[in-house]
């Protein structure tokens, strides 16, 4: 059936979509709740710190960190300011380009991310990884790759989400 040129979802498509939508709604809350409870961090704060923790010298230009976290610079600046106030991240002028600002994980931030990671990984395992068989995990990778191709057609974040591929 179509209305205004839109082909409606059939029952099988609707069943898949509703389940994916439920995961998209419930998973962020589960991840955020664990991080707030155990580390007093939001999921986005943790993610920004994790991206810095994997960067050379635990440092990135703010524009690169914004790209990796898929955040606008104003949103990222606000979050980094909060983390800076807590002594977890520091900002400083980029030595290669005085117009740019770098963000670096402080020693306290590195300690925080190392202490927080095990609980976060346990939550990811509980809600996603351990719920799947090895074959389903492979299917999930293929399914999300197909979806990411439409969401990121230019491959802007391809390096980020394919960095652990073998």
C-beta of residue 31 within 8 angstroms of C-beta of residue 123? yes
Residue 162: domain span: 132-166
- Phi, psi at 6, each rounded to 5°: -95, 125
- 83 vs 43: CA distance, rounded Å: 13
pLDDT tens digit sequence for 23-39: 999 999 999 999 999 99
Residues 140 and 77 in one domain: no
C-beta of residue 54 within 8 angstroms of C-beta of residue 46? no
pLDDT of residue 2: 59
Do the domain assignments include residue 2? Answer: no
pLDDT of residue 88: 98
DSSP states along 17-73: HHHHHHHHHHHHHHHHHHHHHHHS--HHHHHHHHHHHTSGGGEEEHHHHHHHHT--H
Do the domain assignments include residue 59? Answer: yes
Q: Which candidate, 19, 69, 73, 72, places its Cα nearest to that of 42?
A: 69
| H helix intervals, 70-164 | 73-85, 107-127, 134-151, 158-162
pLDDT of residue 65: 96
pLDDT of residue 7: 93
pLDDT of residue 4: 77
pLDDT of residue 162: 84
Do the domain assignments include residue 123? Answer: no
Q: What is the DSSP letter of 87?
A: T
pLDDT of residue 157: 82
* Proportion of the chain above pLDDT 70, given as a percent: 98
CATH of the domain at 16: 1.10.10.10
Residues 89 and 152 in one domain: no
pLDDT tens digit sequence for 77-103: 999 999 999 999 999 999 999 899 999
Stretches in the chain below the pLDDT threshold 70: 1-3
The distance of Cα 58 from the centroid of its chain, to the nearest Å, equals: 17
| Number of compact structural domains in the chain | 2
- 19 vs 9: CA distance, rounded Å: 14
Residues 37 and 98 in one domain: yes
């Amino acid at each position: 059936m179509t209305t205004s040129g839109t082909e409606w979802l059939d029952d099988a498509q609707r069943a898949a979509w509703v389940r994916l939508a439920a995961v998209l709604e419930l998973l962020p809350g589960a991840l955020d709740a664990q991080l707030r409870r155990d580390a007093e961090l939001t999921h986005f704060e943790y993610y920004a710190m994790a991206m810095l923790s994997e960067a050379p010298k635990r440092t990135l230009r703010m524009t690169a960190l914004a790209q990796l976290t898929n955040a606008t610079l104003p949103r990222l600046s606000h979050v980094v300011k909060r983390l800076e106030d807590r002594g977890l991240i520091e900002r400083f002028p980029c030595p290669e380009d005085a117009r740019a600002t770098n963000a670096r994980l402080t020693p306290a931030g590195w300690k925080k991310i190392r202490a927080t990671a095990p609980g976060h990984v346990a939550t990811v395992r509980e809600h996603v990884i351990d719920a799947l068989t090895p074959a389903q995990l492979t299917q999930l990778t293929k399914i999300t790759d197909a979806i990411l191709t439409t969401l990121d057609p230019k491959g802007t974040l391809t390096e980020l989400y394919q960095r652990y591929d073998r």
